[in-house]
Amino acid sequence: MSEPSLLQTILAAHWPQVQEQLDKRLPAVVAEAVRTCVEKALRCRTEANGFARFRCADCGAAHTLCFTCKSRFCPTCGRARAAEAAANAQGRLLNVGHRHLTFSVPSELRPLLFARRDLLSVVAKAAAQATLQAVGTRCRAHPPLPGVMATVHTYGRDLTWHVHVHVLCTEGGRRADGVWQPVHLFPAPQYRRLWQHCLLSALRRKLKNDRSLKRQIGRLYRKYPSGFNVHVRSHYRNGKQAGAYCCRYTGRPPLSERRIVDYDGQQVTLSYQDYRDGQHKTLTLPAVEFLLRLMQHVWPRYQRDVHYFGLYQPARRKQHVTKVAQASRFGDQVRPKPALSRRERLEQAMAERDLRCPKCGGPLVFEYVQLPSKRHATQTQTTTKHKSGQLSLRM
């Protein structure tokens, strides 16, 4: 069993106090998801979460490798989840230029989205719709259809509730007449007005019976005459660079453990960079308040934070890719790199690892795996199923 991480230590010490406030501070669907995530995080890298048993071929010493929890809430496992999500996303991206945009939700709407987590998908769709409409205006006769990937984030750098959408859009689109139309102009004022219109209209349709919300929406139109905040950010020359973007924004946990600079048993100190002035700052919170602030960003079960639109629409993605390749003069350059299956990723990872005995340095031979359920350990013959047994290491 490995040493517990810092977050595991904080959770184990203060989880009983947090449970008492969980239902009062968080929506019911989020509180339920939090209990599941914390249970996984506390079992992470322990025998209770399952393990694989190895034996040294030279000295015969037995070694145990405990499984991780695979939860986004866990900072240790979150990096692996983010890398896996980025690999899946990169398999969808066309190998063309992409532009990164950030759509921010005004503070007046954040309490509504905090209580109604199902509306976060409406926010993602509104950001994508604004992007599709803006790119479509680049050619009035034949509006180009771009590929759009929208990732919803709910956290600021200080873990406050700050809903925004990271949008990755192709710098161009396929026109109805079969021509690939390059697009390099992404004017922020146009996106701000479209973002405001699409978001408020979508919320009004979703909550059409709420009269107070309609009045609030009307006030937001008057309060923000130039639209909601949109940042036109990085440019990526090809799909490979855009895939690197996915590693930073897709599937990552709200907090990296490296940002916890101090914990004295009662208080937690975080480091973060304030985007308003660009200064590095620290924030000290009681441990219970820190955990509650972190847990408010847990996603309800079965709810997605990454959405695809336009050329990346899942139902028609293969069809769109074929048509884009025909429309482009560089057909081989626009085809996305096929994503590896989970088994292929495991095989690749295991082929790169050479497990050695920490005592004598001899090769470790897989013996069996114990799953976290109450079922008996699955015994595997090391002579005939050595390769499949190693694949069970990252189940």
Enumerate the β-bridge partners of residue 271: 282
Name residue, tokens 């130039």. 226
Higher pLDDT, 46 or 281: 281
Instruction: Tokens for 390, please give them.
Output: 């190693």
What integer best gives the mean pLDDT of the chain?
83
Dist. CA 324–CA 341, nearest whole Å: 24
Higher pLDDT, 238 or 335: 238
**What pLDDT, on the 0 to 100 scale, is given for residue 279?**
87
Per-residue pLDDT averaged across 42-67, rounded? 81
The pTM for the full model equals 0.82
> Count of CB atoms within 10 A of residue 137's CB?
14
**What pLDDT, on the 0 to 100 scale, is given for residue 348?**
62
Instruction: Tokens for 31, please give them.
Output: 């509180």
pLDDT in tens, 354-370: 778 888 888 888 777 77
Instruction: Tokens for 135, please give them.
Output: 């790119």
Chain centroid to CA 240: 18
What CATH code is assigned to 78-254+305-339? 3.40.1310
Dist. CA 106–CA 76, nearest whole Å: 32
Dist. CA 132–CA 191, nearest whole Å: 10
Dist. CA 225–CA 199, nearest whole Å: 14
Instruction: Tokens for 101, please give them.
Output: 């945009």
> Count of CB atoms within 10 A of residue 21's CB?
14
Per-residue pLDDT averaged across 121-126, rounded? 97
User: What is the sign, positive or negative, of the torsion defined by CA atoms of 320, 323, 327, 329?
Assistant: positive
pLDDT in tens, 239-277: 878 877 776 677 677 888 888 999 999 999 999 988 778
- Looking at the chain, the whole-number percentage of residues with pLDDT higher than 70 is 85
Per-residue pLDDT averaged across 305-330, rounded? 87
Structural contact between residues 72 and 81, judged by C-beta atoms closer than 8 angstroms: yes
Dist. CA 9–CA 98, nearest whole Å: 41
Which DSSP category does 125 fall into?
H
Structure confidence at residue 373 as a pLDDT band (50, 70, 90): low
pLDDT in tens, 198-207: 999 999 999 8
Is 51 a residue whose pLDDT tops 90?
A: no
pLDDT in tens, 155-189: 998 999 999 999 999 999 999 888 999 999 999 99
In 3-state terms, the chain is what percent helix, strand and coil (to 5)?
45, 20, 35
**What pLDDT, on the 0 to 100 scale, is given for residue 42?**
82
Structural contact between residues 303 and 120, judged by C-beta atoms closer than 8 angstroms: yes
**What pLDDT, on the 0 to 100 scale, is given for residue 58?**
87
Is 232 a residue whose pLDDT tops 50?
A: yes
Chain centroid to CA 96: 22
CA distances from 196 to 33, 88, 120, 203 (A): 31, 31, 15, 11
User: What is the sign, positive or negative, of the torsion defined by CA atoms of 391, 341, 333, 166?
Assistant: negative
Is 44 a residue whose pLDDT tops 50?
A: yes
Domain limits, the chain: 6-71+343-394, 78-254+305-339
Cα 11–Cα 161–Cα 4 angle in degrees, nearest 5: 20
Of the listed ranges 33-37, 71-75, 299-303, 363-367, the least confidently predicted one is 71-75
Name residue, tokens 């390099």. 184
- Looking at the chain, the whole-number percentage of residues with pLDDT higher than 90 is 44
